[in-house]
Amino acid sequence: FRLDPPSRPFEPENVVNGVARPEGWPNIWISDPSQPLPQNLTIDFGAPRTVGTVLLTFDTNLNHLVEFGPAPECVRDYALWARVGDEWRVLAEVNGNYQRRRTHTLGALEASALRLEVRATNGCPTARVYEVRAYPPA
């Protein structure tokens, strides 16, 4: 069985499609399993935008029982970066995450791109991200 063109269900574009769960399509970015962590996901706005809040949604395997600890698929350690002018700045560094949704309030930041650097998961060898949303300041 061969698909032409090949199906690519776990591409980075999934994190900006507005759907944060498998619903008719996987709607998730899964990093290249042949490459070790850390892995990066970059969203280029094309031009500077004022960003006030960044919302991240990770895979917590909603079928996983919390009593047994964090879902192995969930991103544990990560850094959130922004391209400001010609340089990349660290906005947040998080270690020990086990939550599905993380919100980072930035104030008002002029950025032309965001980068999520997944450094480690709670056991899975690939980074798994459902969604990255950037909102202007309130």
* DSSP conformation letters of 20-54: -S-SSS---EE--TTSPSPEEEEEEEEEEEEEEEE
Instruction: Give the dihedral of Cα atoms 71, 72, 76, 77; nearest 10 deg.
Output: -170
Q: pLDDT tens digit string along 60-104? A: 887 666 567 789 999 999 999 999 999 999 999 999 999 999 999
39-58, strands of its sheet edge to edge = 29-30, 128-135, 39-58, 101-121, 75-84, 87-94
Query: pLDDT, tens digit, for every residue of 119-136?
Result: 999 999 999 999 999 999
For residues 78 and 95, what is the distance between their CA atoms, to the nearest angstrom?
7
Cis peptide before 38 (omega within 30 of 0): yes
Confidence at residue 1, expressed as pLDDT on a 0 to 100 scale? 59
Tokens of 121: 């998961």
Torsion sign across C-alpha atoms 87, 34, 12, 131:
negative
pLDDT > 90? residue 25 = no
Predicted local confidence at residue 91, as pLDDT: 97
**pLDDT of amino acid 41:** 94
- Report pLDDT for 43: 92
pLDDT averaged over the chain? 86
